[in-house]
Amino acid sequence: MKWEFLNTKSNTGKYNMDYDMNLAENAQPGTALLRFYKWKPYCISLGANQDFSTINLKKAYDNNIDLVERPTGGRAILHSEELTYSVVYPLDNGFSPKELYREINLALKKGMIFFDNELEKIELEKEQPYFPNYYKDRKSELCFAVSAKNELKFEGKKLVGSAQRKLHNTILQHGSILCGDFHKKIVEFLFLNDEETVQMKEEIKNTTTDLRSILNYEIDYDLLVESIKTGFEEHFKIKFENPLNQVKIK
């Protein structure tokens, strides 16, 4: 199978989500694709089944925070100091969606170890939460408040959050690799009372971490991209090609 590679740098939330959907909807048989991107301005994304009424929209706009709906599930994320990846993968090439989810996270882990050996301590979450009960809890409004099975954690805290969607015979999987701690400010844009705000800030502090906090230096995003790209090549035993025609998004 052929693998293609794209780095589309920084764009708005709508651009990034439209680009991922366009890649998935126009996927070619026998071709997988890995894309990296960032967010400018910073952006709150909501899962496909989450209500925008949970977000203080005026406060977000007043703080130049973009808003967008993701095509995948999950809950609210403040995309800020992160590297975002997406994978488009045809389902007739060897993996079920659950297997692919695990394999992509293993490739991400290998790439981050190339970036810094300290990240050998990254582990895959072994348990799957029972989400129907979890979504009854107020903290469920935060995507990074809980880890799904096979997501990446460092010393018990979530480092990478991912989600999938199946479109016909293609899987779109994308996720956030946390590189700084600005994502924790998501709590400031939720409709909460003072007590809930304190509880939610403590929750996200205790359940998430990021590469800068782990490694104690500013993250070189270009080096991180190249490291994870190499991790994918070694894990999947492939060599990336650059696509002949990049998707055009208005």
Whether 121 maps to a domain, the answer reads yes
What three-state secondary structure class fits 138? Answer: helix
Q: Is 43 a catalytic residue?
A: no
- Position 134 scores a pLDDT of 41
CATH code, domain carrying 183: 3.30.930.10
Domain around 56: 2-236
Residues 116-167: pLDDT tens digits?
999 999 999 987 654 455 444 555 556 555 668 899 999 999 999 999 999 9
Catalytic residue of the set 34, 78, 143, 160: 143
Whether 81 maps to a domain, the answer reads yes
Residues 76-87: pLDDT tens digits?
999 999 999 999
Residues 86-106: pLDDT tens digits?
999 998 878 999 999 999 999
Q: How many domains does the chain have?
A: 1
Whether 247 maps to a domain, the answer reads no
Phi-psi region of 148 (alpha: psi -120 to 50; beta: other; left: phi over 0): beta
Contacts for 107 with CB less than 8 Å, ≥ 6 apart:
228, 231, 232, 235, 236
The pTM of the full predicted model, rounded to 2 decimals, is 0.91
Whether 45 maps to a domain, the answer reads yes
Whether 25 maps to a domain, the answer reads yes
Whether 7 maps to a domain, the answer reads yes
156 or 246, higher pLDDT? 156
Whether 230 maps to a domain, the answer reads yes
Q: Provide mean pLDDT across the span 12-39.
A: 96
Whether 119 maps to a domain, the answer reads yes
